[in-house]
Structure 1
Amino acid sequence: DLIFSVAAPLMLGVAVAVVPMQVGARALAFARSAMFGFYLWLFGVILVGSSYLNNGGPGGGAAEMVDLFLVGLGLVIAGLLLISASVATTVLASRRAGMTLIETPIFSWSALVTSISLLLTLPVLAGAIIYVAVDHAYERATFGATEGVNAWIGWAFASPQIFVVAIPTLGVLAQIVATMARGKQPLRAGLFVGVGLMSTAVIGGVTQSSHTVNFSGNIGDVLKSLIPYALFNKLPIIGVVVVLGLSLLALKNAKAKLNAAFVPAFLGVGMVLTGMIGGAVYKVANLKLANTVFDEGVLVYVCYGVVLSGIGAVAYFGPRIWGREIASAPVLGLGLLGFLATVLASLPYFIAGFADQPANVANSFDYSGPIWLWNSLVGVGHALMALVVFLFFALATKSFRTGTISTATSAELFESVNG
């Protein structure tokens, strides 16, 4: 799954590398625990991938492979929990003397919020996995057997829960903007509020359900569904808009010098925001988008937005970690190419969702005509994003091994507390 195999480990990996430097810690808290968590995650991803290749996963036809999927997913969750605990502890307990929590750099703050959010929600998913796994291994009656797996754990792979792993994208963007604006960030407290608002998506893990709105019926019925819908789906969007607005304000009020990492970071947040808006549209019952590929478009927008932000994060923080520069022009080009790939892999499914293309595998459905075109464009988008990731990995590897010596200073890891 893109959430737990790509987006979450990517953002947590950046946090593991950057947070100790930003908060002045001598080392990552519980470093060995975090390393153990990485190996748990890696082994779990291998098991999950193997189960999918052998007709496993939610709704899979091979019962043993479905069991393997649940075991692998459990290991993935355990690994991410260990890493999250390490990051959160570093920010809370390992800051340098004199640094208060409000003085924490914005990326470290976003990493803290993300880690705590994962620590609050992933145990809920782990509990659901245990229930489903035990039932599937024996009775296969209480939780709907193979077909019921997704009904009980599917909330973790859909909005608003998927927004949690995208919270650090706000920190990456704000941190880059602070450097471009020479460390000045007006209304810095507003950035903290924006990140906090986005974290309200964590409430979705409590209810484990999707909150929709139906504009049919009387005003009382509409309000009854509108209030929880707005709480679960609109508040996180407001948080992203706040951070975007304050970041652009900081650039307007200073003679900013463009940093190449800004392009993928900004486009990444834009893609995440598009996915979040799409998630809110998906929950409008009157549009009848449920059980269509529209939801997959939401997932890809958010996850590929995180990947773009990750490219920006590595391009920005990399020279401060490895001491060598990364060429600006390729970063700009790959950022724009990744943006195109994200749109191609997501937007066609938004359109196909309104055309009632069903999600998953469907029988007696005509995939010819425009539907064939949408599916082809999505395939091209995924292939293009895979190429972008490969090319950036090659660029980063070469640059950080043989590139020019970086002139970046540690001061650029922070922003002015007073604006």
Structure 2
Amino acid sequence: MMLGLAVAVVPMQVGARALAFARSAMFGFYLWLFGVILVGTSYLNNGGPGGGNAEMVDLFLIGLGLVIAGLLLISTSVATTVLASRRAGMTLIETPIFSWSALVASVSMLLTLPVVAGAIIYVAVDHAYERATFGATEGVNAWIGWAFTTPQIFIVAIPTLGVLAQIVATMTRGKQPLRAGLLVGVGLMSTAVIGAVTQSSHTVSFSGSASDVLKSLIPYLFFNHLPILGVFVVLGLSLLALKNERAKLNAAFVPAFLGVGMVLTGMIGGAIFKITNLKLANTVFEEAVLVYVCYGAVLSGIGAVAYFGPRIWGREIPSAPVLGLGLLGFLATVLASLPYFIAGFADQPASIANNFDYSGPIWLWNSLVGAGHALMALVVLLFFAVATKSFRSGTISSATSADLFESVNG
């Protein structure tokens, strides 16, 4: 979703005549779409990691490969547009903050997704023939599962910072103090790439001597807390900009701000998950981290469409539905995630649907999580309906292209 917005918005922000490698980006979209269909089909027919149908597991790997190929093509197009297609006189430092975040996210994907693609090739060949070296069906998740968990998923959420900062810049009439700090904050979040490409989980244990704790604490802080620091920097500078007495609230700010908050909550949860003394491994705690980050990105996407949409289609989305659905999406995210944070500490195992027991109210946590997922699906559908109606027959927008930029000098 964020890459799709970048494809539409980045050329306008940097003053490019068109998206770089536009046909390649379109081809990437169709690869991604076809891959998603194959992955969904495989899951519906007992495929996917650990699936019981070998042919559907093969289909899953093929579909996932197509998804990654599509994302790589789109990322290349977005990154090239920012780097090489800016209008005359615009330096990279002067690039609008959303375009900067899109560049950072695209480059991060270009660094990490080829690693995933390589692992998929090895696993697919092994699964189709010997099924010994990489653990057959059960080994699929062991070798490529890192691509769907922390810290790799943080990369997907990088543009959420750009969306929030861009909306705040409009609310403050383009004035953004310490704008360079925003660029640094977005860049800090991309340090998650280092842990992702090495496929290493940097944990910390507070047992043993002080020297032993220090040996694990330093890499733990570097790989797990630097991305969190980046989010705090962007949030802090955005709130500082809102101290401007002329700041005017934009409805899109609510879902964008709440989305970044949910992403931050997931990232903090990811750091807590890496503390081995808490014994959270193989529990549903990690699932909650994933949901917080992904649903936070969805919330931010709602804010992004509400903000950028009128500048693309020329018609406004009413403020009331954006505010209401933003708050409802926030509630859905909390319901779908927080209970599993609690259940994780109560040792509810991951990847097991039944025949387990633990020290907590199983029915309560699972029911709340299910309700949260259902509510988020409803929020997405309602927003799609509202946006579609508004962009077809809504009020003509008064937004100008100047709203897509912020003051470089603050």
Q: TM-score range by the shorter chain?
A: over 0.9
Cα distance in 2 for residues equivalent to 1:68 and 1:231: 38
Counterpart of 2:64? 73
Offset at 1:367?
Answer: 7.3
For residues 21-76 of structure 1, the C-alpha deviation after alignment (integer angstroms, 9 at most, x for no partner) is 00000111111100000000001001111111111111111111111111000000
C-alpha displacement of 1:368: 9.8
1:402 corresponds to = 393
Letter paired with 1:97: A
Match among 397, 404, 410 for residue 413 of structure 1: 404
Q: How does 1:137-148 map to 2 (within 5 A)?
A: 137-148=128-139
TM-score with structure 2 setting the length: 0.99
Equivalent position of 1:353 in the other structure = 344
1:151 to 127, 142, 145: 142
Aligned to 2:162: 171
Q: Aligned pair 1:183/2:174, yes or no?
A: yes
Give the alignment partner of residue 385 of structure 1, picking from 340, 361, 376.
Answer: 376
TM superposition score normalised by structure 1? 0.97
Matches within 5 A, 1:209-228: 209-228=200-219
Going from structure 1 to structure 2, the CA distance change for 1:254 and 1:418 (only over 3 Å counts) comes to farther
Residue in 2 that maps onto 1:326: 317
- The answer to whether the aligner puts 1:286 opposite 2:274 as a matched pair is no
Distance 1:398 1:259 in 2: 20
Indicate which of 264, 276, 279 corresponds to 2:267: 276
Structure 1 match to 2:27: 36
Distance in 2 separating the partners of 1:254 and 1:242: 21
1:366 Cα shift?
2.7
Q: Which moved more, 1:144-153 or 1:218-227?
A: 218-227
One of 108, 111, 127 as aligned partner of 1:117: 108
Q: Do the aligned partners of 2:157 and 2:263 also contact (CA within 8 Å) in 1?
A: yes
Identify which of 304, 307, 332 aligns with 2:295: 304
| CA deviation string 1:364-388 (max 9, x = no partner) | 4137961111000000000000000
Residue segments in structure 2 that go unaligned for 5+ positions in a row: none
Task: Return the offset for 1:227.
Answer: 1.4
Find the counterpart in structure 2 of residue 107 from structure 1. 98
SS in 2 for 1:228: helix
CA contact 1:12–1:84 (8 Å) conserved in 2? yes
Q: CA RMSD in A?
A: 1.0
Distance 1:369 1:251 in 2: 43
SS state at 1:234 partner: helix
Distance 1:227 1:130 in 2: 34
Deviation readout 1:213-253 (Å, 9 max, x if unpaired): 11101112111111111111100000000000000000013
What are the equivalent positions in structure 2 for 1:262-273 lying under 5 Å apart?
262-273=253-264
Q: Which runs of 5+ in 1 are unaligned?
A: 1-9
Distance in 1 (alpha carbons) for counterparts of 2:72 and 2:229: 27
Is 1:243 paired with 2:237?
A: no
Give 1:363 shift.
6.0
1:183-238 residue CA offsets vs partner (Å, 9 max, x unmatched):
00000000000000000001122211211111101112111111111111100000
Q: Which amino acid aligns with 2:324?
A: G
**Maintained 8 Å contact 2:97/2:166:** yes
Q: Distance in 1 between matches of 2:383 and 2:216?
A: 44
Aligned to 2:43: 52
How many residue pairs get aligned? The number is 410
Q: Note closer, same or farther for the CA distance 1:417–1:254 as it changes in structure 2 (3 Å cut).
A: farther
- Please tell me whether the aligned partners of residues 124 and 205 of structure 1 are also in contact (alpha carbons under 8 angstroms): no
Structure 2 residue 199 is matched with structure 1 residue 205? no
Matched, 1:89 2:98: no
Looking at structure 2, the residues matched to 133 and 230 of structure 1 have their Cα atoms a distance apart, in angstroms, of 35
Amino acid across the alignment from 1:112 = L
Distance 1:416 1:49 in 2: 44
- Percent identity for Structure 1 against Structure 2: 89
Hey, what's the Cα distance between the residues in 2 that align with 1:322 and 1:356? 49
Are the aligned partners of 1:184 and 1:250 in contact in 2 as well (CA < 8 Å)? yes
Runs (4+) of structure 1 exceeding 3 A deviation are none
Q: 1:315 aligns with which of 300, 306, 309?
A: 306
